[in-house]
Structure 1
Amino acid sequence: MEKAKEFNSMDKLKVFMKKNTMLIALVIVTLFFQFETGGTLLAPRNMTNLISQNGYVVILAVGMLMCILTGGNIDLSVGSIVALVGALAGTLIVTKGMNVYLAIAICLAVGILIGIWQGFWIAYVRIPAFIVTLSGMLLWRGVALMILGGLTISPFPEEYLNLFNSYIPDPFGGQINIMCMIVAIAVCAILVCTELVSRKNRIKKGYSTGSAAQLLTRLVVICALILFAGYKLANHKGIPTILVLLAAVVLIYSYYTSRTVNGRYLYAVGGNEKAAKLSGIDTNKVLFKSYVNMAFLSAVAALMCVARFNSSAPTAGMSYELDAIGACFIGGASAYGGTGTVGGAVIGAIFMGVLNNGMSIMGIDANMQKAVKGLVLLAAVAFDVISKKRKESK
C-alpha cells in the first residue's frame, strides 16, 4: 500500500514537472543570471528595460503561435513587415506631419492588407507558407528600403513616443509606486479566482484535473513572481504603458484560443486538417485568418519598435521572425502543430529575453550568444519530437 502511494506521488510529480517545465527552467535561468550578474539582472531599472526590449517578441510570438498551431506553419516575413510599417510610420508622422492616430490607423490597415495578400496565396492557392512568407521577407524589406531611400527617419514627436514609452501615473505619490503594487495584487487575486472557478467547473463536468496541491503550488509560484516583478517596477517608475499593451494582447489571445470556437479550430486544423475539414470546419478560412492576424500583430510590433528606438531605420526587424519562432517552440508549441498555448509562448519570449539580457550584462561575445540560443532552440524542439515518439510507441 505504501509503495502504491509512493508511485502515485512520483507520477503526480512527473506530471507537474512536465506541465511546468519551461516555467521551472525560466526561474532557474533567471536565478542563475541574477547571481552571475551580481543582482543587476533583476534591478528595478533593468526590469523595465527587459520589458521594453522584449515587448516586440511577445507580440510576434503570440501571432506566430496562431500560424504554428495550424500545422507547424511559420511566417518568415514578420521582420520585414516590421521594417515596412515602421518606415511608413516614420514617413507619415515625421516627414508628412500627419496626425499621430490617423497614421497609426493607416499603418495597422497596411499590416492587415499584407496579411490578406499572403493569406490568400497560402490558404486558397495552397502555396506552402514557407515559400510565400520567404517571398514576403524579400518583398516587404525591398519596399521598406524604397520608402526610406536607405536613410533613417527621426525623431518622432513626443505625442507619439508617450503612447509607448511613458508610465501609468501614480495618484498616491511616495518613493514606491503604490498603484503598481495595487495592480500586482489585483492581478494575483483575479488569477487565483479564475483558476479556482475553472477547476470547479471542470470537476462539475467530470473532466480530469490535477491535484489541489499541484494547483496551489503553481499559483503560489506565479503569484510570487508577479508580486516580485510588481515590487521591482514600483521601485523604478511604475507600470510602463507598453506592459499594459502586452497584457491586453496576451489576455485577448489567451481567451480567443482557449474559450472560443474559432480559437479551437486552430488546434483542430493543426491536429488533423483532413478530419477537421470533414467535420465541417472551413480550414482555408482558419489558415487565412491566422496569417492576416500575424501581419496585423507585426504592424503593432512595428509601432512599438519605432517608438522605442525613436527612429525608422532600414535595418529594423532583422531576425525578428527567428525570435518569435524560437519563443513559441521554447514555450512548448509543437513543430507539428495542434499543440501550444499563449502562456507558453509568453514564457518562451521571457526566457529568450532573460537569456539575451543576462549574457549581455555578463559581457559574453555576441557570436557565443547566438550559439547558445541555437542550442536552446534545438533542445526545445528535440524534447517535443522525442516526447511525441514516446507517446506513439506506448
Structure 2
Amino acid sequence: MTAVAGLKEIFTKNLRTSGIYIAFVAIVGLFTVLTDGMLLSPGNLTNIILQYSYILILAIGMVIVIIGGHIDLSVGSVVALTGATSAIVVIKHGQPWWVGILAALAVGLLVGVWQGFWVAYVGIPAFIVTLAGMLLFRGMTLQVLDNISLSPFPSEYQKVANGFLNGFLGGNGFDVFTLVIAGIALVGFAVSQFRTRQGRIRYKQTVEAMPLFITKLVLVAAVVMAFAYQLSKSRGLPIVLIILGVLIIAYTIITTKTVFGRHVYAIGGNLSAAQLSGVKVKQVNFWIFVNMGFLSAIAGVVYSSRSNGAQPSAGNMFELDAIAAAFIGGASTTGGVGRVTGAMIGALIMAVMTNGMSIMGIDQSVQQMVKGLVLLLAVAFDIFNKRRAGAAR
C-alpha cells in the first residue's frame, strides 16, 4: 500500500475520527489569526490548561458513560458537592489538605455507587437517575455549605490546580525540565504506536504505509514539543497537566486494552448481543457510574483548588460542557462509539473557542450560541455518517 493509498483509506474508513483533528487544527489556526497570535502565547496556553482542566477530566468519564449508551446530567452538581466536602474538612475543621482530597474522592465514589445502583440494578434510565442526582447533589451542596462560600484553602491544596514543576534542570528563558518530560512522553507514545501497528500486522489488519506512519509521529512530536516549549517559556509544567496526562493514559488503556473496556463498547453497541455473549451488563453499568463519580470528585478537587474555595454554585453547567466535548470528539448518540482521545480533542475545541472569543471580547451570550451550534453540527455529522454507512451497505 502506497502512502497516498494509506492516507486515503484512513480518511474514508473513519471520517469522523480523522475530521475532528482537522477541525481542531483549523479552529486553532482561525483563532490564532483573529487574536493576533495571543491564543498561542505562552501565558495563554498555560491559562487554557489551568482553566479547562476539570472539563477535560469530566470528559474522560463522560465519554465512557456515553459509549455505554447512557448520559450523566449530575456531574456538575457532584463537582460542587465534592469540592464543598473538601472545603468543610480542610477549611472548617482544620484537617490536612490531603485528608480533604480523600474525603472528596470518597464522596464521589459514594455518589457513583448510589447512581450505579439505580441504573444497573433497579433499571431506571440513567437520564432520570442523573437528572434526580443533579437536583439532589446540588441541594446537598447548599446544605453542606449552608448557602455560603468557604475559602481559602492551604497553599498545598491550591498547588493541585495552580502549582508548577520547574527549575529542576535549569534553562535560560525556558524550563528544560518541561521539555524533558514532553520528550519522555513522546518516546512512550512512539513505542506504543509502533507496538499497536505490529499487533495489527500480526492479525493481518490494514495499517498505513511506514512513510505515512513516520510522518504522523513526526507531526505529533512537532506539535507536542512546540506546545511544551511555549509552556516552558511561561511558568513551566502545570501539576494539573501531569494529573490529566496520567488519567488520559490510564483510561485509554482501560477502554482499549481491558475486558471492562470491551464490554462497555459491547453494551453500547448492541445490548442484546452483549447479554447473549455473557457480558455481565449490570456489573459493567454499575462500575461505569462509580467511575464517573470518581472522576467527578477529581474534577471537584481541581476546581476547588483552582478557585481557592468552595461555592454553592460551583460546577454549574459543567455537565453540558463534558457532554458536548464527548459528542464533538466523536462519540455516538446511540452508544458504542467514542474514544478518550477524541473527547480530549472535543474538550480542547470548546476550550479554544471559549478562550479565543473571550480574548476577542465577544459577549457571553454569543459564545453560548456558537458553542450550541458547534454541538448541533457535531451530532448532525454523526447522523449523516450513519445514514451514509447504511446506504453503502
TM-score, length of structure 1 as denominator length: 0.95
CA drift of 1:197 comes to: 1.9
Distance 1:99 1:226 in 2: 36
Instruction: Please state whether the residue corresponding to 1:124 is helix, strand or coil.
Output: helix
Partner of 2:152: 155
Distance 2:83 2:11 in 1: 46
Partner of 1:79: 76
Partner of 2:168: 171
Partner of 1:320: 318
CA drift of 1:9 comes to: 7.3
Partner of 2:104: 107
2:63 and 2:338 in contact (8 A); partners too: yes
Match of 2:52 among 37, 51, 54: 54
**Aligned partner letter, 1:345:** A
CA drift of 1:184 comes to: 1.6
User: Are residues 1:372 and 2:367 paired?
Assistant: no
**Structure 1 residues 51-84: Cα deviation after superposition (integer angstroms, max 9, x where no partner):** 011101111000011110112x110000000111
Identical pairs, percent: 43
CA drift of 1:173 comes to: 1.8
User: Are residues 1:138 and 2:135 paired?
Assistant: yes
Report the more deviating stretch, 167-176 or 55-64.
Answer: 167-176
Distance 2:389 2:100 in 1: 51
**Structure 1 residues 151-207: Cα deviation after superposition (integer angstroms, max 9, x where no partner):** 110111112112332111322223210011111222222212221221112102212
User: Alpha carbons of 1:326 and 1:177: their partners in 2 closer, same or farther (altered >3 Å)?
Assistant: same
**Aligned partner letter, 1:163:** V
Match of 2:382 among 381, 384, 392: 384
Distance 1:20 1:381 in 2: 16
Match of 1:297 among 286, 295, 298: 295
Partner of 2:251: 253
Partner of 1:127: 124
2:75 and 2:319 in contact (8 A); partners too: yes
1:82 and 1:299 in contact (8 A); partners too: yes
**Aligned partner letter, 1:366:** Q
Count of aligned pairs between the two proteins: 390
Instruction: Please state whether the residue corresponding to 1:350 is helix, strand or coil.
Output: helix
User: Alpha carbons of 1:44 and 1:8: their partners in 2 closer, same or farther (altered >3 Å)?
Assistant: closer
**Aligned partner letter, 2:130:** T
Instruction: Please state whether the residue corresponding to 1:41 is helix, strand or coil.
Output: helix
CA drift of 1:23 comes to: 1.0
User: Are residues 1:229 and 2:239 paired?
Assistant: no
- Counterparts of 1:229-378 in structure 2 under 5 Å? 229-378=227-376
TM-score, length of structure 2 as denominator length: 0.96
**Aligned partner letter, 2:304:** V
Instruction: Please state whether the residue corresponding to 1:257 is helix, strand or coil.
Output: helix
- Counterparts of 1:89-104 in structure 2 under 5 Å? 89-104=86-101
Distance 2:24 2:344 in 1: 11
Distance 1:194 1:133 in 2: 36
User: Alpha carbons of 1:204 and 1:151: their partners in 2 closer, same or farther (altered >3 Å)?
Assistant: same
**Structure 1 residues 237-266: Cα deviation after superposition (integer angstroms, max 9, x where no partner):** 110000000001000000000011111110
**Aligned partner letter, 1:304:** V
**Structure 1 residues 288-344: Cα deviation after superposition (integer angstroms, max 9, x where no partner):** 110110011001000000110101001100000000000000000111101111110
1:26 and 1:351 in contact (8 A); partners too: yes
1:89 and 1:107 in contact (8 A); partners too: yes
Distance 1:165 1:316 in 2: 17
Distance 2:8 2:156 in 1: 56
Distance 1:100 1:134 in 2: 31
**Aligned partner letter, 2:57:** I
1:34 and 1:42 in contact (8 A); partners too: yes
Structure 1: unaligned runs, 5 residues or longer: none
Instruction: Please state whether the residue corresponding to 1:20 is helix, strand or coil.
Output: helix
Distance 1:10 1:230 in 2: 28
